[in-house]
């Protein structure tokens, strides 16, 4: 039996980021392809595109500014299909998305 280990860190500059993430997971080799496929499908469903296929990385401090969090709290949940379309637009075009005010 073999395990694949994935470790990820984000926001560890201790300057601009107001969050820090450290994550790790070990997956048995016989489960690896099934999990990769499920994650790929989830990414496409939630974001409308494959984020990993983009040529650039979107930094959280630019993508999710404090103003965006405040605005999101005022409008409530966005339906999955609309959220995926908006995410895809942002990821592929880099355009800021204006959400309707509630």
Confidence of residue 102 (pLDDT cuts 50, 70, 90): very low
- Integer Cα distance of 60 and 37 in angstroms: 25
- Integer Cα distance of 96 and 44 in angstroms: 20
Containing 85, the helix (H) or strand (E) segment is helix 80-93
**Residues ≥6 apart with Cβ < 8 Å to 42:** none
Residue 43 burial class via C-beta count within 10 angstroms: exposed 0-12, middle 13-18, buried 19 and up? middle
Mean pLDDT across 30-57: 84
Percent of the chain with pLDDT over 90: 13
Does pLDDT of 36 surpass 60?
Answer: yes
Confidence of residue 101 (pLDDT cuts 50, 70, 90): very low
**Residues ≥6 apart with Cβ < 8 Å to 86:** 78, 97, 99
Give the pLDDT confidence score for residue 61 in this predicted structure. 63
Confidence of residue 22 (pLDDT cuts 50, 70, 90): confident
Mean pLDDT across 11-24: 73
Question: What confidence tens digit (pLDDT) does each residue in 74-98 have?
Answer: 777 888 888 888 888 877 776 555 5
Does pLDDT of 34 surpass 70?
Answer: yes
């Amino acid at each position: 039996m073999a395990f694949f280990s994935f470790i990820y860190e984000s926001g560890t500059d201790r300057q601009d980021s107001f969050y820090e993430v450290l994550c790790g997971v070990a997956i048995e080799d016989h489960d690896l392809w099934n999990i990769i496929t499920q994650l790929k499908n989830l990414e496409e469903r939630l974001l409308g595109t494959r984020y990993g296929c983009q040529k650039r990385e979107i930094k959280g401090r630019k993508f999710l500014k404090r103003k965006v969090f405040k605005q999101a709290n005022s409008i409530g949940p966005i339906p999955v299909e609309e959220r995926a379309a908006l995410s895809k637009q942002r990821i592929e075009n880099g355009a800021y998305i204006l959400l309707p005010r509630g």
